[in-house]
Amino acid sequence: MPGVVVHRFGPFELDPSSRQLFRAQKRVHLSGPQSTILTLYVTNPGVTFSKERLIDSAWGGMAINENSVEKAVSKLRKVLGDGIGDGDCIETLPHEGYRFTAPVQQAEQPRAHASLDTHLEPYLKFVQGRTNLDTLDRKALAEARGEFEAALRLAPDYTSARVGLAMACGLAYEASTADAEQDVASLDRAVACARQASMLTPRSGEAWSTFAFVLALKAAREESATITKQAAAAAHLAMELEPGDSRHALRAAYATWGDERLRAAQHVLTLRPGLALAHWLRTTVFIARGAFEAAFEEVRLGCAAQDAQLNNAGLPAVGLHLLHAHLLAVHERLDEAVAALKRELTWTDSEHMYARVCASNTWYVLGAIYLRQRKRAEAEAAFEQALTIAPRHVSAAAALRGEVPGGPPKGGPYVRDMDVALARAIVLARGNRHAEAAHTFRDVLAQRPPGPAGWILPVEPFLNPLARRDVWSDALTMVRVRAT
């Protein structure tokens, strides 16, 4: 069996297949771009590479500046400096780029001498990262991110680890929704990692479905029609490439809307029966359409699936009982709605990434229902609880205080236009200006790109638009049409 061809220079040894650098059989850790640049140099000694070529090779053509290349080269010089002269084995050629000048020898290392652990380590870290991701636990998500980053340090070309890192970063952003400051840096990194993975491995359904998911997060934040279309296109490509993967279908369901979401989520349930998240996604479309009979049936299955989840279940969900309460309240079954909300609250005392958002929304809905039951003290206490969990819960602030927070404070969270529009409508309805509330919401919705914006309106408990169909008809029709 042929051995492993390695490149030796000074006291160093580089395995170009894994891009791992060793000195005296001890691993020298480099970042992904650094190891890619060094491999390019060592396998092409004496060849001059421009900064543009290095950006294309090491960063996949991502939009970075030349300063990043200079920092990577400087780091390499520092690493190599104490073993090869003063690190001047990487020569700068003004206006041309860099070249590697140290003598390089090739040698064949018997595979029997190569450490099995060394070859398996990136994969083992990826598997552990994937396992942590599936818990949707905030602490486990942070650990998953560390595992994927470690795998990439060991194997910079490991696409699956790069995709995993993109997903971990995207979920870190999503988990920060109720935090004092949303983790926008993680979202940006998620999009960059997923884009690079899709470029490097264009036949990977995993890369494209992850790209679709993180683009959908970015589209929701920026309310961008262009990014929404890109997310949907990436989702479709992922499903075409690997239609039998439930993860791809789940991400496609998140990244799409209307019939496409219904089909993708149903495909998830075909591949993975009883996944509560898929029921949640389908229910949102039925609610937007005002198809309450279908919504009730879907959420009934979803609640049973949520209740059947084990603590270590993969991709667990919260929020199905909350949706059930919304639907019960529409039909004025208010006592049953309160019971469903209290059941939901038993699920929100956890590290689930959506637990805090779900808890704050549950307390807000509870407050709105208490108001309809003329229990003002209980309602105010519930709204206060929602704001304690999520201080920028604009609907709770509007219902409790009759005010809509202005722009986010410096360092504060981003608040989407539709959330602000909903809060303004609540303030107006609080003053019995229901027609003005409906017009305000409709006008903002009309300017939003296609997608799920405004889907909650038919069951919004404070506004209760179905009780005033005469003034809310246009807005409800708009929400319904957008969901087809």
R_g (Cα) of the chain, nearest Å = 27
Domain with CATH 1.25.40.10 in the chain: 116-241
Statement: 116-241 belongs to CATH 1.25.40.10: yes
CA nearest neighbour of 278 among 305, 296, 245: 305
pLDDT at position 455 over 50: yes
Q: What is the pLDDT of residues 313-345, one digit of tens each?
A: 689 999 999 999 999 999 999 999 999 999 999
Percent of the chain with pLDDT over 90: 61
Q: Which residue has the higher pLDDT, 103 or 57?
A: 103
The per-residue pLDDT for 1 is: 43
The answer to whether the beta carbons of residues 205 and 250 sit under 8 Å apart is no
114 SS3 class: coil
Q: State pTM to two decimals.
A: 0.77
The per-residue pLDDT for 408 is: 45
Q: What is the mean pLDDT of the chain?
A: 89
Work out the average pLDDT over 377-386. 97
pLDDT at position 480 over 90: yes
Q: What is the pLDDT of residues 188-241, one digit of tens each?
A: 999 999 999 998 889 999 999 999 999 999 999 888 899 999 999 999 999 999
pLDDT at position 386 over 90: yes
The per-residue pLDDT for 479 is: 97
The per-residue pLDDT for 312 is: 54
Name the strand (E) or helix (H) holding 124: helix 116-134
The per-residue pLDDT for 65 is: 75
The per-residue pLDDT for 30 is: 81
- Which distant-in-sequence residues (6+ apart) come within 8 Å of 13 by Cβ? 6, 7, 21, 22, 23
CA nearest neighbour of 277 among 299, 257, 255: 299
- Which distant-in-sequence residues (6+ apart) come within 8 Å of 343 by Cβ? 321
What is the greatest pairwise CA distance in the chain?
84
Name the strand (E) or helix (H) holding 221: helix 205-222
Vertex 301 angle, CA 330 and 141, to 5°: 100
Alpha-carbon distance of 394 to 387, in angstroms, equals: 9
185 SS3 class: helix
For 406, phi then psi, to 5°, come to -75, -150
Domain with CATH 1.10.10.10 in the chain: 4-113
The per-residue pLDDT for 322 is: 98
Work out the average pLDDT over 428-452. 94
CA nearest neighbour of 192 among 13, 61, 323, 335: 61
The per-residue pLDDT for 52 is: 86
The per-residue pLDDT for 240 is: 94
The answer to whether the beta carbons of residues 403 and 419 sit under 8 Å apart is no
Alpha-carbon distance of 444 to 399, in angstroms, equals: 20
The residues facing 13 across adjacent strands are 8, 22
Q: Where residue 116 falls among pLDDT bands split at 50, 70, 90?
A: low
Neighbouring CB atoms inside 10 A of 116's CB total: 9
Dihedral sign, Cα of residue 201, residue 207, residue 212, residue 216 = negative
pLDDT at position 413 over 50: no
The per-residue pLDDT for 313 is: 66
CA 465 to chain centre: 32
Describe the crossing of helices 66-81 and 32-42 by its angle, rounded to 10 degrees: 70
CA nearest neighbour of 324 among 353, 365, 360, 373: 365
Q: Where residue 411 falls among pLDDT bands split at 50, 70, 90?
A: very low
The per-residue pLDDT for 450 is: 87
Name the strand (E) or helix (H) holding 4: strand 4-9
The answer to whether the beta carbons of residues 287 and 323 sit under 8 Å apart is yes
- Show the tokens assigned to 60: 């996949």
The residues facing 100 across adjacent strands are 90
Name the strand (E) or helix (H) holding 23: strand 20-23
Work out the average pLDDT over 261-290. 97
The answer to whether the beta carbons of residues 360 and 148 sit under 8 Å apart is no
| Buried b or exposed e, range 281-295, using 16+ CB within 10 angstroms | bbbbbbbbbbbbebb
DSSP per-residue string spanning 372-436: HTT-HHHHHHHHHHHHHH-TT-HHHHHHHHS----SPPTT-----HHHHHHHHHHHHHHTT-HHH
Work out the average pLDDT over 389-406. 88
Work out the average pLDDT over 386-390. 94
Percent of the chain with pLDDT over 70: 92
The per-residue pLDDT for 410 is: 38
The per-residue pLDDT for 190 is: 96
The per-residue pLDDT for 165 is: 96
Q: Which residue has the higher pLDDT, 291 or 36?
A: 291
CA nearest neighbour of 208 among 171, 177, 175, 243: 243
The per-residue pLDDT for 283 is: 98
CATH of 4-113, one of 3.40.50.300, 3.30.2030.30, 1.10.10.10, 3.20.20.210: 1.10.10.10
